Homo-oligomer: A and B are copies of this chain.
Amino acid sequence: MNRQQKKQDEKVSRNTRSTKLKLLKAATKEFADKGLNGARVDGIASRAGVNKQLLYYYFGDKEKLFVAVLEAAYVKLRKKEKELHLEDMNPWQAIETLVGFTFDYIAHNRQFVALLNDENIHHAQHIKRSKTIKGLHSKLLELLSEVLKRGAKEGLFRKNVDPIEFYISLASLCYFFFSNNHTLSAIFARNLTGAAQKEARRKHIFEFITAYLKI
């Protein structure tokens, strides 16, 4: 049995790609769960079911693994963004798609939210150092900019909307509900974790953004 066949069988005990992937997935969970400082190297290794030393063999150290986790998370996001094709839609369609995508992506990728939260505590020092992440410049802002202009020209949208301010507002409205869900639930003494609350939030955000854009 040669190597190629073994790969297909996925029964290999020795395989760089699968070991790295197992570590990356385990690390994503551990870092999202406990933050960079709270995460344990032994915890990551045992979650991945591999020897701890392989973490050092493949990633160097804990912090470099954290950077690799962030990079993988951004690669995933940018890939999804590319599939939106806002440029082919009419302005209202494009905004609706963008808002829905942003909300749903955050809702389904809570680990990403947790990682970003932690990265902000560390003043984004890892993202700032990562050429990979900087290289993945999102085209979303350019696309949004074009959509806002088109909408304004067609008399559908408010004029002179700053795309960065608008995008930050959109991200805020979607992100905060999830990132701060636990403290919000505690302070309001109300359960905000349910599906109904999530759907209500989604609807409210659409209303909020629509009200701002429409003339």
Shortest distance between the CB of A202 and any CB in chain B (Å):
11
Q: Could you tell me the distance between the alpha carbons of A65 and B5 in the complex, rounded to whole angstroms?
A: 57
CB nearest neighbor in B for A158: B211
Given A171-B176, A204-B169, A118 contacting B121 (CB threshold 8 A): yes
Q: How many copies altogether? A: 2
Q: Could you tell me the distance between the alpha carbons of A123 and B179 in the complex, rounded to whole angstroms?
A: 10
Interface of A is mostly: helix
CB nearest neighbor in B for A128: B186
Which residue in B37, B127, B211 is a CB contact (below 8 Å) of A211?
A: B211
Verify if A75 is at the interface (C-beta below 8 Å from B). Answer: no
Q: Which of A107-137 contact B (CB under 8 A)?
A: 114, 116-121, 123-124, 127-128, 133-134, 137
What residues of chain B lie closer than 8 Å to A182, measured between beta carbons?
A: 119-120, 123-124
Q: Which one of A38, A162, A190 has the greatest number of beta carbons of chain B within 10 Å?
A: A38
